Amino acid sequence: MLIPLGWWYTVESTTTKHLQKQFKSAIEEALASKTEERAMMRAKSAKQRFPVARWVEDLNILESTAIRIHKEEASGHRRFRSPSANRVLHSITNGLDRQHMYGDASAQAEAFTARGERDTSPAGLHRSLSLGVRNGPGHRARLTGQQVGAPVHEVDELNEDEQSSADEYRLTREEAEVILRGHERGRALHSLEGSGTPGLSLREPAETYWDSRRRGRGRSISPRPSALRYSRSPDDMERSESPSSDDSLFRRGSRRHDRLGRPSGSLLDLTEIKGGSADFSLQMVDPTFNDTTGEFFRAFENMLRGLDAKNSEKELCIEEYLIESEKTWFKRFREAKLNRSRGSSPMGSPNPSVSSLGSHRRIRSYQPSPDPSERYSSDNGSTTDEALGMEDEFLLGKNYQRPSIFKRLMQRRIGDWPIYSLILALGQILAANSYQITLLTGGQSQTTEKLYIIGGIYMAMTCVWWAFYRSFKSLYVLSAPFAVYGLAFVFVGVAPFLGPGSGRDWMRNVATGLYTAASASGSIFFALNFGDEGENHILD
C-alpha cells in the first residue's frame, strides 16, 4: 500500500478545536518547508500518485468477494443467482453519498468509463453498469421465471439477454459517458452563470436520455436517474424533506442533480403511505433542528460576507454557529410550546435572536438579513398567521393543547436548568446510603443487626425500584420515592410524642427503614435527569 507524500498530523480527539489546531500546525509546517524539500517531493510524486482508480477497483473486488462468499454460504436453501448489479450499485452508492454529489459522481462515471482495460474483477466482462432491478435486488429470478436451480455464479451474468430485461435499469458505458459530459457541461454552465439554474441544465440531457429508454412502463413521472433518492415524491415534498442532509450549503445548488437511476425500482412513496392524513402518532415526534425555514442559513450567509482569515477559525466556525442556533431554536420551540395563546409577543421576530448571534461575532460588514417575506411579516395584524407559521415550523399541529400551568412551570428554566431537573436533582441528593441515615435518626455507631436489616431493605428496594422502572412509566418511579421520604420524616417527627422506650426506638427504626427504601432509587433519578433536553428524543 503506497503511503502518499505530504505533511501529516495526528488526530487525538474529534473536537473541532483540536482538529483545527492540528491542521493549522500541518499547514505551518508545509509553509515553512524548504524549496529543495518541495522540489524533491514534486519529483517523487511524478512517479508516485495516489492510485484512485485502482483503489476503487480494489474496493469493488473486496465487496464483490464478500458478497459472493456470503451468497455461497447462504446458497444451501436458496439458489437464484445474484445480479452483479448489487455490487456495482453498491460501489456507486458509496461513492455518491449526499455530501459529494458533484464531484464523486463524475469521478465514478470517469472511473467506470476508464476502467475498460481492467476487467479483471469477478463481476466479469461487463459492458454496462447495472443500476438495479425494478423488483428489488435478488428478485429478478422470480419475475423473469429464471431457473431457480442456477448456480450462484457470475457465469450467468455474462448472458446478455437476461441482463437486458425490461425491468432493470441499466447504464451502458455510452450512457455513462453521456451523463459525464452532461455533468461537465453543467459544471461549466454553473461557473458561468453563477448560481443560476444548474439543476435544469443538468437535468435535461439526463432526462431526454431516460425518456428515450422508457419502454412504455406506463409511469407518469419519468424515473429520474437517482441512485440516492428512494422516494419518488414530487418536488415540493422534497423541498421540505431535504434538509435532513447536513450539507445545507450544498442544498440549494445540488438538490436537483445527480439522479443516475432508481436503485430499487420500488413504487412505494411516503405520500401513499400517509394517505393524506397528518396525524399518525408516529409522526407526533418533536422536531429536530433542521432549519426548515432556512433562516439560520441565510443569517450565516450574511455573516460569511465578512469572512477573512482571522475570523474563519473562531467566530465563523460553523460548528459553533450551529450549536448556538440550535440552542436559540430550541428556546423558541419551548416558548412556542408553552406560550401559544399569547401570540407573537414572546416569540418575537426571529431576527433579533439571529442578529444577536451575529453581533457576538463583531463582524463589521454584517447586515441583518431582510425579513423573510413569506412567514414573518412584521405587521402585527397578522399575528395569528405568524403564530400558525411558528407552529408549523415546530410541527405542533392544529390540535396542540397548551400544557397545564404546572407542567409549564416545570419546563421553565432557571439559568440553563429546567425546574423539573432541579427537583430530580433534589431527589438524587436526598438519596443517601445507610450509614448516613442512622446519623439522621440518632446514634453514630451502628449495631451489626441494624446494618444487616438496613442492607437487606436496601437491596430489596433496589430490585423493586428497578422493576418499577422497567414496567411502568418513568413517572411512577420518580414520584413514589418522594412520598416515601415524606413518610419517613413523618415518623421521625412523630416519634417524640410516644413515650421514651421501645415505642420510640421502633418509630425511629421504621423511619430509618423508610428512608433507606426511598434512597435505593437514587441512581434512577440521576440516570433520568435532563430527559427533555430536546435532542434525540426518539433515541431513548
- Interatomic CA distance for residues 309 and 519, integer angstroms: 56
Does 9 contact other proteins by CB under 8 A?
A: no
**Per-residue cell: 254:** 445540488
Work out whether 97 is an interface residue with other proteins (CB under 8 A).
Answer: no
The least distance separating other proteins from the CB of residue 429, rounded to whole angstroms, comes to 5
Quote the least distance from Cβ 114 to other proteins, whole Å. Answer: 34
Per-residue H/E/C for 351-370: HHHHHHHHHHHCCCCCCCCC
Bin 395: left if φ > 0, else alpha if -120 < ψ < 50, else beta: left
Determine, following the binding rule CB under 8 A, whether residue 425 of this chain makes contact with other proteins: yes
Q: Which residue, 105 or 520, has its beta carbon nearer to other proteins?
A: 520
In Å, how far from its chain's centre is CA 178?
A: 34
Q: Which residue has the cell 440531457?
A: 205
**C-beta of 131 vs 454, nearer to other proteins:** 454
Q: Grid coordinates standing for 136?
A: 428489488
Nearer to other proteins among residue 10 and residue 191 (C-beta): 10
- Neighbouring C-beta atoms of residue 16, cutoff 10 Å: 13
Q: Tell me the three cell numbers of residue 369.
A: 438579513
Among the listed residues 4, 15, 25, 506, the single contact to other proteins using CB under 8 A: 15
Stretch that binds other proteins, among 178-186, 223-231, 353-361, 425-433 (CB under 8 A): 425-433
Q: Which is nearer to other proteins, 155 or 467 (CB)?
A: 467
Of 137 and 403, the one with the shorter C-beta distance to other proteins is: 403
478 binds other proteins (CB under 8 A): yes
Binding positions for other proteins, 480-509, rule CB under 8 A: 480-483, 485-490, 492-497, 500, 504, 507-508
Q: How far is the CB of 32 from other proteins (least distance, A)?
A: 24
Shortest distance in whole angstroms from residue 396 CB to other proteins = 13
Name the 3-class secondary structure at 496. helix
List the one residue from 91, 130, 351, 428 that touches other proteins (CB under 8 A).
428
Burial 88-125 (b: 16+ CB within 10 A, else e): bbbbbbebbebeebbebbbbbbbbbeebeeeeebebee
Q: Quick one: 51 or 486, whose CB is closer to other proteins?
A: 486
Give the integer Cα–Cα distance in Å for 224 and 202.
12
The residue (of 264 and 411) whose beta carbon lies closer to other proteins is 411
DSSP output for 26-81? HHHHHHT--HHHHHHHHHHHHH----HHHHHHHHHHHHHHHHHHHHHHHTTT---P
Minimum Å gap between C-beta 504 and other proteins is: 7
Q: Which stretch binds other proteins (CB under 8 A): 11-19, 66-74, 77-85, 227-235?
A: 11-19
Question: Toward other proteins, which CB reaches closer, 330 or 366?
Answer: 330
Closer CB to other proteins, residue 143 or residue 425? 425
Do the beta carbons of residue 383 and residue 344 sit within 8 Å? yes
| Choices 57-65, 92-100, 232-240, 457-465 (CB under 8 A): range interacting with other proteins | 457-465
Contact in structure between 359 and 306 (CB atoms under 8 Å) = no
- Does 452 participate in binding other proteins (rule CB under 8 A)? yes
| Rounded least distance, CB 159 to other proteins, Å | 43
Q: Residue 233 interacts with other proteins (CB under 8 A)?
A: no
Q: Does 99 bind other proteins (CB under 8 A)?
A: no
Block residue for cell numbers 455533468: 183
Task: Choose among 129, 261, 130, 260: nearest CA to 138.
Answer: 130
Q: Which stretch binds other proteins (CB under 8 A): 108-116, 256-264, 265-273, 399-407?
A: 399-407
Q: How far is CA 478 from CA 181, 522, 526, 529, in A?
A: 64, 9, 10, 10
Element (H, E) at 494: helix 474-494
Residues 171-210 that bind other proteins (CB under 8 A): none
Q: What is the DSSP letter of 149?
A: T
Residue 504: which residues within 8 A CB-CB, separation 6 or more? 495, 496, 498
Exposure of 9 by Cβ count < 10 A (0-12 exposed, 13-18 middle, 19+ buried)?
Answer: middle
H and E: helices and strands count for the chain: 23, 4
C-alpha cell at 539: 433515541
Minimal distance in Å, beta carbon 90 to other proteins? 22
Nearer to other proteins, 77 or 473 (CB): 473
Provide, rounded to whole angstroms, the least separation between the CB of residue 168 and other proteins.
Answer: 35
Specify the 3-state DSSP secondary structure of 118. Answer: coil
Q: Least separation, in Å, of the C-beta of 26 and other proteins?
A: 15
Q: Which is nearer to other proteins, 46 or 475 (CB)?
A: 475
CB-wise, 384 or 436, nearer to other proteins?
A: 436
Q: What's the rounded Cα separation, in Å, for the pair 137 and 115? A: 24
| 540 in contact with other proteins (CB under 8 A) | yes
**Within positions 269 to 328, which residues make up the interface with other proteins, using CB under 8 A?**
319, 322-323, 326
Tell which phi-psi region holds residue 291, choosing left (phi > 0), alpha (psi between -120 and 50) or beta.
left
Stretch touching other proteins by CB under 8 A, among 67-75, 340-348, 368-376, 447-455: 447-455
DSSP state at residue 417: E
Q: Rank residues 19 and 61 by Cβ distance to other proteins and give the closer one.
A: 19
Of 192-200, 212-220, 249-257, 517-525, the segment contacting other proteins by CB under 8 A is 517-525
Q: Closest approach of Cβ 107 to other proteins, in Å?
A: 24
Sketch the per residue contact string, 70 through 89, with other proteins: x for CB under 8 A, - otherwise.
--------------------
Choose which of 4, 5, 16, 103 interacts with other proteins (CB under 8 A).
16
